[in-house]
Structure 1
């Protein structure tokens, strides 16, 4: 991400650590694994800045709670599917102009710290 357009705010949810069922191997299907989620959101914050009221801001707590509930309440075969579903949750909020979601699966590959998938969406 580079320079923000005037009036846009960048929210970053960093290193949200959750556990879920993710994968296609038997041990992955039957045992929860750690995942790490990072989200970047751009939204117009002029009104929030002007009036200093939560009703004018994008509530990142609400978004985070929805992400947690989705991850903890479901099972996923592919990182791609999980990442897309989380991105869809973020984009449900009409204030969001752009969002990027990255999901890391630590120790998914031997000799690698993690494997991650990143997807993004932009409202026209």
Structure 2
């Protein structure tokens, strides 16, 4: 069965914006990610070995966002989705980003 787990209000600083004054210093963005995956085995075993380690996902998002720069929120949102979907166990992702 497919289940949804959310990472909410992950705050990360990055260079984002199209105006020159927006690109001088990193700005904080708030990231919310909904992740759908098959958790059938992990809900029975209650073992981290049988599920997605969301701490790892968060670290991957933080590392990517902090070490990149973006003109558009849309681009940042799309790229975060691609980072999350690198884990083949994840079936679907929804990303929301705000400044």
Q: TM-score, normalised on structure 1?
A: 0.76
Q: Separation in 2 of the partners of 1:76 and 1:83?
A: 10
**Larger helix share, 1 or 2:** 2
Alignment partner, residue 3 of structure 2: 9
Cα displacement (A) at 1:79? 0.8
Structure ID, larger Rg: 1
How many pairs were matched up?
Answer: 99
Which runs of no fewer than 5 residues in structure 1 stay unpaired? Answer: 1-6, 106-124
Task: Give me the TM-score of the superposition, normalised by structure 2.
Answer: 0.95
1:60 alignment partner in structure 2: 54
- For residues 107-122 of structure 1, the aligned pairs below 5 Å read none
Deviations 1:50-107 (A, max 9, x none): 22211111111111000000111111111111111100011111111111001102xx
More divergent stretch after superposition (46-55 vs 58-67): 46-55
Unaligned 5+ segments in structure 2 are none
- The match for 1:33 is 27
Q: In structure 2, the residue corresponding to 1:97 is in which secondary structure?
A: strand
Q: RMSD across aligned C-alpha pairs, in angstroms? A: 0.9
Check if 1:46 corresponds to 2:31: no
